[in-house]
Amino acid sequence: MIITMSETTTAEIGARLVALREEGGAVALGRVLTLVIVATGSPVGTDALIDAANQASKEHPCRVIVVDASGEHGDAGLDAEIRIGGDAGASEVVLLHPTGDARAELDTLVIPLLLPDAPIVVWWPAQPPEHPGEDPLGRMAQRRISDVGESSDAIAQLARLGEKYTPGDTDLSWARTTLWRGITAAAMDDVSSPVRAVTVRGAGHRPSTHLFAAWLAAAFDLDVTLVEEPDATVITGLDIELADGTISMRRPEGEVVVSITQPGQPDHQLAMPKRPLQDCLMEDLRRMDPDATYQRTVLHGLPRVQVAS
């Protein structure tokens, strides 16, 4: 069910949510967090963001507050939609469209709609603030999720996130590397030979490629070479040079299978499809504590990535 409210206030929206819960028997206590999505400027549109949040809510029931402040200049005003039931997955969705001066202070719009005593997660699916931890919305959140892959000048933006890192920050580009990190860790399980050099191959313009290389740099405490492949849009390969051979992994552009070669072992293949947005979001909602591995990666790994064309 979708309820449209024109020229409204957050107090009226909050009262309507309470009434809907009482009428339908839904309980706010079943929500484990509040997810705030700053949808302004998102290239995929609010419906795609809400769909990803609805899919993620099946694992993490939540209240989703979507703020799209791309409205017109002029008088301050607020239009809203409330989505519940089949239109909201396992969550309840509030879509806010502020106009005029109401767009300037998004935190004042969001605060009255937060679930009491529940963690807050803020997601910027487009251009994140310069310093997410100091943003008015970011300061109230336990977790702050950016997606610099969807912003302009993505690699420079990623570097700035590292410089301004605050515990609780993360980026969806990090979740996009999870499968690569998993198979790399598995390949290194029984390796006792020292690592001499590491080379990552793939899309040099994608933050996930840089974060994967940075994770390796932090894990092995050495500089990692990133070889850019002009036509690539994802990570396409990894070479870990050991004293007794090289571990090589290849996933050519457009393929969903990674081929792995290891010293002393038969070659094998593993399925590795590109992760959809909802899977990455779902992963980031599984933890409310700071991610120490991501912290080491952006603070200590990123500076040790050497880009080679």
In this predicted model, what pLDDT tens digit does every residue of 81-96 receive, in sequence order? 999 876 556 678 999 9
pLDDT tens by residue, 249-265: 999 998 999 999 998 88
> Which of 28-32, 130-134, 164-168 comes out lowest in average pLDDT?
28-32
pTM equals 0.91
Which parts of the chain fold into alpha helices (H)? 10-24, 46-57, 106-110, 136-139, 154-163, 172-175, 178-187, 207-220, 277-284, 292-296
pLDDT over 60 (residue 26): no
Per-domain boundaries in the chain:
2-171, 178-308
pLDDT category, 24, cuts 50, 70, 90?
A: low
